[in-house]
Amino acid sequence: MQDETAINPVTFVEMQASVGSILFLWSSIEREITKRVEELDDGKSRNGAHTLAQKIARWESLQASICAERPEHQDLLKEVHTRLVMALELRNRITHGLIGITADPFGNRGTHIWRRN
């Protein structure tokens, strides 16, 4: 009987695909956040926040009037903000801290190497 909590080995190609998938996903998230900030801020986002963290914070701050009108919106906003920040941390670890992937290109187990910034 195999232990179901054991980590399944991944290949180099699978690791590359995972990293690429995360980067493409964040590209679309950033475009969407920028679009929403522009909608909420009368098109002013081009002059404001530049980093993803700044854009997320600006998006959250622009929701104050909605939260004042609908208190349940505040709970949802906090949840979405928390999830975005956690996902951003993962994205940042990959884009700024991943310094290598090693694996046998013929399908043997792969590993990743992190550098803490």
Whether 108 maps to a domain, the answer reads no
Q: Are 103 and 111 in contact (CB under 8 A)?
A: yes
Q: How many whole angstroms separate alpha carbon 20 and alpha carbon 68?
A: 39
* Domains held by the chain: number: 1
Report CA 11 to chain centroid distance, whole Å.
23
Confidence of residue 41 (pLDDT cuts 50, 70, 90): confident
Q: What is the tens place of the pLDDT at every residue in 72-116?
A: 899 999 999 999 999 999 888 888 887 776 665 565 566 555 566
pLDDT for 18 equals 86
pLDDT for 1 equals 46
Q: Are 86 and 71 in contact (CB under 8 A)?
A: no
Q: How many whole angstroms separate alpha carbon 34 and alpha carbon 78?
A: 19
Whether 69 maps to a domain, the answer reads yes
Q: Are 15 and 101 in contact (CB under 8 A)?
A: yes
Whether 57 maps to a domain, the answer reads yes
User: What is the span of the domain harbouring residue 56?
Assistant: 12-100
Whether 105 maps to a domain, the answer reads no
pLDDT for 24 equals 92
- Whether the pLDDT of residue 32 is over 60: the answer is yes
